A and B are shown apart, each in its own frame.
Chain A
Amino acid sequence: MTIEIEQPRVGLSKIAVSKTHGEDSPYFAGWKAYDENPYDEFRNPSGVIQMGLAENQVSFDILEEYLEQHAEEASWGKKASGFRENALFQDYHGLQSFRKAMASFMEKIREGRTKFNPDRVVLTAGATAANELLTFILADPGDALLVPTPYYPGFDRDLRWRTGVNIVPIHCDSSNNFQVTPQALEAAYKNAESMNIKVRGVLITNPSNPLGVTIHRSTLEQILDFVTIKNIHLVSDEIYSGSVFSPTEFTSIAEILESRSYKDCERVHIVYSLSKDLGLPGFRVGTIYSYNDRVVTTARRMSSFTLISSQTQQLLGSMLSDEKFTGNYITKNRERLRNRYEKMVGGLRNAGVECLEGNAGLFCWVNLSPLLESQTRESELAVWEAILHRVKLNISPGSSCHCSEPGWFRVCFANMSEKTLEVALKRIQSFMEERKITSG
């Protein structure tokens, strides 16, 4: 008797049938639960509160105010040819005015401690595209990038899916507040070697997602030394740089390079985006800033697959060249994020929940390991499900961020109103009280 093996009727690629797009991860399962039953203050007060989305909604009024006052420049102006010129503009160099504006915005965030050359700014449709593009350029299929854990779950897709490149984790744990150490770097490198995988670079996120902390200057120096010795690349994803609560606490890799007179800088590439700092994820504005001419040229050519709409370049070019606006925005945004963070941490503390001391980002790295039945991933997921279905909060389990230590969760605080945050904190408090009673 022959057994019928079901063949796919029509062949799709291996990439198409693989699961490397990562959407089966719990990171996304929580989103589904939210989509089916979203919290609304009036219409659905017992719905799921979305705390798994790292979005910045605290400073929209500042953007809206700008638009009201500068509608014409932001749009196509009075000139009849304005629209036409803009609609036709598909040069992958991007609008020069926009590149200049991005470079100067990046400088402002770093308080002028480094300079950025607009000619090194390559535009992509979001940091998602930027990270993938860089991976295509820096590594061949089968090679690896070393990435410190815990890391943004999207990297599994962005760095690996269509590129065929691997991620080899650099394990970090709570014993030193999850900071990267030279030992961890070396261990990861050796791990790759033992699997016969060629390491092409290290990718760090600074400030870190999901930790919500900036990387220490000394650690950055160590990482730079490490990649130099190994003769590999360093990608620094700095998309949360404008979300650091206090500007002096952030050191960009650009500053380290400057302090070394840009010696050997061609291995360094920075990724930036306006999705987090400006809260504009829909506009798809990403950039690659590379100190390597060849990478800039190649990245620019590749950006043909992922250009930024010229209409959006026009809008943001005008907005970000307005120094008064950007100065005001950056300051206020930092302040408001810090306030949110403090509210969050305070509320959690009242509930008996601790988190990693953070100084940046749109989220807290929360320690719920006391709630775990056993220090395992399964227990962590059980707690996560309980929080999702009973407390009705969608938070992100550390395992989806590849954290090697179970029990940590990323909880976002900037994608909702203050009122909603209060509701969320109350729910956590009730939940924790309940647990005390039942376990006590």
Chain B
Amino acid sequence: MGFISSNRNNEQLLSKIATNDGHGENSSYFEGWKAYDSDPYHSTQNPNGVIQMGLAENELCFDLIQEWVQNNPKASICTAEGANEFKEIAISQDYHGLPEFRQGVAKFMGKVRGDRVTFDPDRIVMSGGATGAHETLAFCLADPGDAFLVPTPYYPGFDRDLRWRTGTQIVPVVCESSNNFKLTKEALEAAFQKATEAKIRVKGLLITNPSNPLGTILDRDTLKTLVRFTNDKNIHLVCDEIYAATVFNQPGFISIAEIIEEELYCNRDLIHIVYSLSKDLGFPGFRVGIVYSYNDQVTSCARKMSSFGLVSTQTQHLIGSLLSDDIFTEKFIAESADRLAKRHEIFIKGLAQVGIGSLKSNAGLFFWMDLRRLLKEPTIEAETALWRLIIHEVKLNVSPGSSFHCSDPGWFRVCFANMDDDTVKIALRRIRNFVLQRKGLDQGPAKRPCWQNKLQVSLSFRRLDDFVMAPHRMSPHSPISSPLVRARN
């Protein structure tokens, strides 16, 4: 239905928030999605399409959940067994949430942390996904103009979630590849200092643990350093632990909830956890976000704000049932970690074989791939050029490090849990072919493991060779010297 736009002054009719870029969609993070949307890979209908590796989704364990849902018809109010609860559930709009939902989530959070800590159901506050949770906390903890320190590289959505409607700012805490992106006290102090000099009031530090996009977890010492730092500065510590159940290898995950039990001096009023079921369980559509604060006032305020983003009671009911089933949750957590580990290994090994390294990681639905040596020069422009090449020619949507505000160009986040096994093989093949082509090296058959189809690889390589541009000189970030390459094993 087209409308004749008679109002030339339309632009000024909307608010500043509506007309600025705070929604973040002009970021390159989304350009790849657009390429995917217009040409999505399909095994039979579009085998040359773009494979989506830019979406951090967990699709490895749906069979387990589907089985549970089928065996537990009462959990769904759309079934004969569950329909008698329909009315009660449909009417309930209490922002405290259904008790069984809160209890189920609290129990699950504890289980994910190996039952080393317990969570109080009365502190479980709902929000519109973790997206809503972050925004709610920003509204509660900071005034417009105030800032949150956020270690880089970080999830691009934070630019929108923390800043768009709240008016708060992000001051990056720069972490570098030279020390494996470790979060150091020096970096924190530097960022805090920078903000102070710019007369920006810092209200909190936001960490994501396990990290997106790095896929790493914070060790005990670092966590204690963070608690001490925030205590000293009397600023909030927001811990986004939405990937807690995606830790698939040792070392084990340590939650901030455990640290504060150990750091008895710490002011708990400063500690807040963001959780969600979108990653650990793979339910992004259900919009289950949680604010868990140790501060009573924040809990109360966030709960009032949850009116703007409550979880559908239909979903609360399902989740409450699902997560109160201990047998299921324990099996799920173990099985999910196992499948993630296997998936992760396939990629890491496959890439190592062509000299592509990644940051050593043990969590998340992605790995942080190191393509620095493929850059023409160590700049964002070169990274962007390489990324465009990967999207449009290799047909993989991976996410460039610059979209995560990474200070070192050449890193890419590659998601691995949102596809089936066959697609994994194809994605791997494409990356490997691309890398081999870029290398311009002649990989003779003797260097390849005999189970590989060397003939096919060499032929395709030679054919591509005709079209390859003048080989660029060896980048200083040669895989031979980089400490970050996973050793072939």
Contact = CB atoms under 8 A, between A and B. Distances in A.
Nearest to B23: A301
Contacts of A89: 284-285
Contacts of B236: 10
Interface in B20-48: 23, 25
B313 to A, nearest CB: 3
Interface in A21-64: 21, 23, 55, 57, 60, 63-64
A132 B86 contact: no
Interface stretch (A179-187, A257-265, A359-367, A423-431): A257-265
Contacts of A68: 80, 83
A294 B14 contact: yes
Contacts of A55: 91
Nearest to B298: A12
Most buried by A among B92, B203, B301: B301
25 contacts: A9-B269, A10-B295, A71-B78, A71-B80, A83-B69, A90-B278, A125-B128, A132-B308, A136-B15, A137-B14, A139-B15, A141-B144, A162-B165, A232-B13, A265-B3, A275-B93, A281-B90, A291-B3, A301-B23, A305-B132, A306-B309, A307-B129, A307-B287, A310-B287, A311-B315
A295 B14 CA distance: 8
Contacts of A263: 4, 6
B318 A311 contact: yes
Nearest to B165: A136
B428 interface: no
Contacts of B308: 125-126, 128-129, 132, 162, 305-306
B311 interface: yes
A311 B311 CA distance: 11
Contacts of A304: 128-129, 131, 160
B162 to A, nearest CB: 12
Interface of B: 1, 3-7, 9-11, 13-18, 23, 25, 57, 59, 62, 65-66, 69, 76-80, 83, 86-87, 89-93, 128-129, 131-132, 135, 139-144, 146, 160-161, 164-165, 203, 234, 236, 267, 269-270, 278, 282-287, 295, 297-298, 301, 304-305, 307-315, 318
Interface in A138-160: 138-141, 143, 157
Contacts of B286: 87, 309-311
A284 B307 CA distance: 9
Contacts of B66: 80, 83-84
Contacts of A312: 312, 314-315
Interface of A: 9-16, 21, 23, 55, 57, 60, 63-64, 67-68, 71, 74-76, 80, 83-84, 86-90, 115, 117, 120, 125-126, 128-129, 132, 136-141, 143, 157, 162, 200, 231-233, 262-267, 275, 279-284, 291-292, 294-295, 298, 301-302, 304-312, 315
A23 B314 contact: no
Given A115-B1, A138-B18, A305 B309 contact: yes
Contacts of A291: 3
Contact of B91 (A57, A84, A90, A129): A57
Contacts of B23: 298, 301-302
Contacts of B314: 282-283, 309, 311-312, 315
Closest 8 CB pairs of A and B: A310-B285, A282-B313, A75-B78, A309-B312, A281-B93, A90-B284, A89-B285, A74-B78
B388 to A, nearest CB: 24
Nearest to B317: A282
A137 B269 CA distance: 33
A11 B203 contact: yes
A102 B236 CA distance: 42
Contact of B139 (A15, A86, A232): A15
Contact of A298 (B14, B140, B143, B315): B14
A67 B90 CA distance: 13
A333 B234 CA distance: 56
A270 B86 CA distance: 29
B311 A309 contact: yes
B285 to A, nearest CB: 3
B78 A302 contact: no
Contacts of B16: 140
A162 B314 CA distance: 27
A90 B315 CA distance: 14
